[in-house]
Structure 1
Amino acid sequence: MEYEFTLKYQLIEDEEVDVLLERLAAAGCDDAVVGVGQPGRLALAFLRESRSAKEAIESALSDVREAVPSARLIEATPDLVGLTDVAEIIGVSRQNMRKLMLSHMHSFPAPMHDGGTSLWHLADVLRWLQARGSYAIGQEILDLAQVAMTINVARAHERVFGASRNLAY
């Protein structure tokens, strides 16, 4: 099965772009579109063949770690999303998604960030939609969102409480 996801990194050292691209390809990241447009950042949009979402993302993390060991993972996606993102994924309008959220305010997942732009963990919203039975949610996207959320939550925990030997990300 093919899984589409993005890994975003902070580069700790200045890297020659051509050398960086060669190292990434040699490490197995030849199935990713690499973005280096923002100074000090690296984004890899993967389309990876694998037996599971977990295996796809974990193998990509390992490949990047091999190529650029000093890079720090910022975020794995798909995870944090706005209502527009969710609407696009499930094939409805943003207005429809907002109406759904407001009409089920007591059961709709709470956002991870609430403000001018609210953000949710995609996995939480997709599980909620799946439980309602109104929308066909593909297991692949749900699995991918769950793995990305797990990685991002583990990274946030590590930033707040310090590194743990049990964290693989």
Structure 2
Amino acid sequence: MTSTEGVPPMINPIEPTRHALGYSDGAGHPDEEDILSQDQAVLIDEVIDDPRTPALDLQVVKNERLGTYDALVGGREVAGLTYSVAGDDRLVLLGTSVLSEFREQGIATELIRHVLDDARGQGKTVTILCPIVRTFIEHNPEYADLVDPQHPGVTLRRTHSS
């Protein structure tokens, strides 16, 4: 499979993703590009296409010891967003995951919204290494001010497959 100039080739031509990501120098991965996993692409599509509040009884709990925000439905952990702390004023958002049977229900969107609202409430900025969080912020610019200008993290570039 050939690629167009500046767009990386798809690694799985049977199930291509429509997203590519790149790391800014602030993320510690200068000039690298990668293709998202199929799971990440599904969650990005959820954030783009289905930003509604989930109908489920969703609770988000922060576990500082493990560095996670966990989304619970009926007491069951169904999603999580991992993070690390950088200094006193910055969170590094590492990755978002949702159990497959709970995807496309707005859980990723609400989890990310909760994490960003919590960071804002604490007066922190964020470095984004999670492409799902990056996509959320791109589609919800009211959170763009939270991205640390010195260490923004990953940037998202859309690619289109045929």
The structure whose RCO (Cα within 8 Å, separation 6+) is larger is 2
Alignment TM-score > 0.5, same fold: no
**What is the TM-score when the length of structure 1 is the normalising length?**
0.29
The structure whose Rg is larger is 1
